């Protein structure tokens, strides 16, 4: 009880600090607005934006600068949702899972419901993660250190197998899509040897493929190409909003428990250094599909899929701050830049951060609450305006999607080569859909593949090149065992379905009639 009262007392001091400081409140508002805009524009991202604002931050006091940076971090999470739902172009890698169901809901005239559920889920997930950050930061930071490279490798393998079994109808085709993504992840200069891999002499590939390029290509451009080739599946007129804009009672009921579960999953996924919001949204989405009573709806417009992905996305922000503030270990790309902010001001993160910088620490935590409230107030009233963006004829919408996609590819590096890659990945995404492969799994393979290779090679280095030694830690073995079991179960299910279809075909076949000669 004394520990709880101490936390509440310090949180009260943090709120008093923020609410009595107009500069901090203004910084939170500006950060939320800027972050939302950044999330909408593919290719920028919160990490880049926060880094670009360092010259501005140097003119501000530490608290104001950090409050604005955190608000940008939170705002970008929701901003990426808008283009995911309305245009099928994830503004951030963490919004890929949102696009799977969000865009389908928009095509069904339920864009408003999807955006409202995303906004409310983001608020709940972000708020609960801050509560957990206050109460659990020190013990969780220590527990996170138990995860070394080998353990991370096991978790990533399990995540890839889960994705193959849950996204798409065929595990075999899912694994093909993932392998394609893993192959793309190897393109670029090897960071350990400095040797270019699969660049074919093209300097634009030396740094590898920027994650945002295939994301906006296979989803944005790929969707346009698919709609042009298959006009019967594309809206010839405007994507009309049918019925109510806000979620129905049934939508709210279906979203309630996924929101609570994903808040927990997202926070703990964020605590693990290097996992970030992309992993959090992915895990939450796959868990919800696994336990759902209607898994066939996922990918076709399941409102609970949007709730799970967006809640976990924002809940991971509080979790990512745990290792950054208490251990000085960034939990994501954005927190790595935030760490640079702290060091720039001479503030040392680590175990003593909450005692040596108590006033700043609790002001930052209070600002997270304030920023979440600001985002909710900003975004909910604007949902009717947002949904009007798709209430336009397809002949205008498709060129706009193409323009946003190509500009997004160019903006990340000011490179026409990257803009061309966006179009190329759009063609790849279209061809994959024609072959009944999953473009989403290609992106997941690319996103997780880079982490997978890094963790595997780190594990090998720590065990002097021994594969057996690197992959036989208890946590790794459990993860690999579960992955193998999932593959075996899916293979068994596929074989049983094939036999069932064969028996049905034999039973329905007409019996031959012998005519006496």
Q: Can you tell me whether residue 189 is helix, strand or coil?
A: strand
List pLDDT tens digits, range 297-350.
Answer: 888 888 999 999 999 988 888 888 877 777 666 656 677 778 778 877 888 776
| Mean pLDDT, residues 120-126 | 88
Distance between CA atoms of residues 439 and 428, nearest Å? 8
Q: Note whether 312 and 284 are within 8 A (CB).
A: yes
| Distance of alpha carbon 487 from alpha carbon 214, whole angstroms | 27
Q: Do the Cβ atoms of 473 and 155 come closer than 8 Å? A: no
Name residue, tokens 């604007």.
382
Number of residues that make up the chain = 517
The single-letter DSSP state of residue 197 is E
Residue 238 confidence (pLDDT): 43
| pLDDT band per the 50, 70, 90 thresholds, residue 41 | low
| Coil, strand or helix at 271 | helix
Own/partner contacts of 20-26, CB < 8 Å, gap of 24 or more, are 21/63, 21/64, 23/60, 23/61, 23/64, 24/63, 24/64, 24/67, 24/363, 24/367, 25/370
Which one, of 395, 375, 379, 378, lies nearest residue 387 by Cα? 379
The predicted-structure confidence for 457-509, as pLDDT tens digits, reads as follows: 888 888 777 777 777 888 889 988 988 888 888 788 778 877 887 777 766 65
Q: Where are the alpha helices (DSSP H) in 108-188?
A: 111-144, 149-166, 171-185
Q: Are strands 196-197 and 188-189 parallel, antiparallel or unpaired?
A: antiparallel
Is this model's pTM higher than 0.75 or not?
no
Instruction: Give the pLDDT of residue 27.
Output: 92
- What distance in Å separates the CA atoms of residue 248 and residue 463, rounded to the nearest whole number? 55
- Note whether 301 and 110 are within 8 A (CB): yes
Q: Looking up tokens 């323009």, which residue turns up?
A: 403
């Amino acid at each position: 009880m004394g520990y709880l009262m101490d936390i509440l007392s310090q949180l009260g001091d943090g709120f008093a600090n923020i609410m009595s400081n107009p500069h901090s409140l203004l910084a939170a508002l500006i950060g939320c607005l800027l972050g939302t805009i950044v999330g909408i524009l593919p290719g920028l991202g919160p990490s880049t934006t926060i880094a670009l604002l360092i010259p501005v931050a140097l003119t501000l006091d530490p608290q104001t600068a950090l409050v604005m940076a955190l608000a940008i971090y939170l705002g970008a999470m929701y901003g990426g949702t808008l283009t995911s739902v309305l245009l099928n172009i994830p503004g951030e890698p963490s919004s890929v899972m949102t696009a799977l169901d969000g865009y389908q809901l928009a095509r069904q005239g339920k864009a408003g419901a999807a955006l409202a559920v995303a906004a409310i889920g983001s608020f709940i997930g972000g708020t609960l993660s801050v509560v957990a950050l206050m109460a659990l930061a020190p013990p969780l930071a220590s527990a996170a250190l138990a995860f070394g490279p080998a353990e991370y490798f096991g978790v990533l393998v399990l995540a890839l197998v889960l994705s193959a079994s849950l996204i798409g109808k065929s595990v075999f085709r899912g694994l093909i899509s993932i392998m394609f993504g893993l192959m793309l992840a190897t393109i670029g200069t090897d960071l350990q040897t400095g040797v270019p891999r699969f660049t074919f002499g093209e300097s634009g590939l030396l740094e590898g493929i920027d994650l945002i390029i295939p994301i906006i290509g296979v989803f944005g451009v790929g969707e346009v190409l698919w709609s042009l080739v298959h006009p019967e599946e594309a809206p010839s007129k405007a994507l009309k909003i049918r019925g109510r804009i806000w979620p129905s009672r049934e939508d709210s009921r279906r979203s309630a428990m996924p929101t609570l579960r994903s808040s927990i999953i997202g926070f703990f996924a964020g605590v693990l250094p290097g996992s970030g919001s992309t992993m959090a949204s992915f895990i939450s989405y796959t868990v919800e599909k696994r336990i759902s009573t209607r898994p066939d709806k996922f990918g076709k417009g399941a409102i609970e899929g949007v709730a799970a992905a967006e809640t976990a996305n924002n809940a991971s922000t509080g979790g990512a701050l745990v290792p950054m503030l208490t251990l000085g270990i960034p939990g994501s790309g954005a927190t790595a830049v935030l760490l640079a902010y702290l060091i720039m001001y001479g503030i040392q993160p680590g175990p003593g951060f909450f005692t040596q910088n108590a006033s700043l620490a609790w002001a930052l935590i209070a600002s997270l609450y304030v920023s979440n409230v600001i985002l909710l107030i900003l975004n909910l009233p604007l949902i009717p305006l947002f949904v009007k963006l798709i209430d336009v004829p397809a002949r205008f919408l498709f060129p706009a999607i193409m323009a946003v996609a190509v500009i997004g590819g160019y903006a990340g590096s000011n490179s026409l080569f990257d803009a061309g890659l966006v179009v190329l990945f759009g063609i790849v995404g279209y061809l994959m859909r024609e072959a009944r492969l999953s473009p989403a799994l290609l992106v997941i393979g690319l996103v997780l593949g880079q982490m997978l290779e890094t963790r595997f090679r780190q594990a090998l280095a720590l065990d002097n090149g021994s594969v057996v030694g690197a992959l036989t830690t208890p946590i790794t073995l459990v993860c690999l065992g579960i992955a193998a079991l999932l593959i075996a179960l899916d293979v068994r299910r596929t074989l049983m379905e094939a036999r069932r279809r064969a028996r049905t075909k034999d039973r329905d076949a007409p019996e031959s009639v012998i005519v006496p000669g």
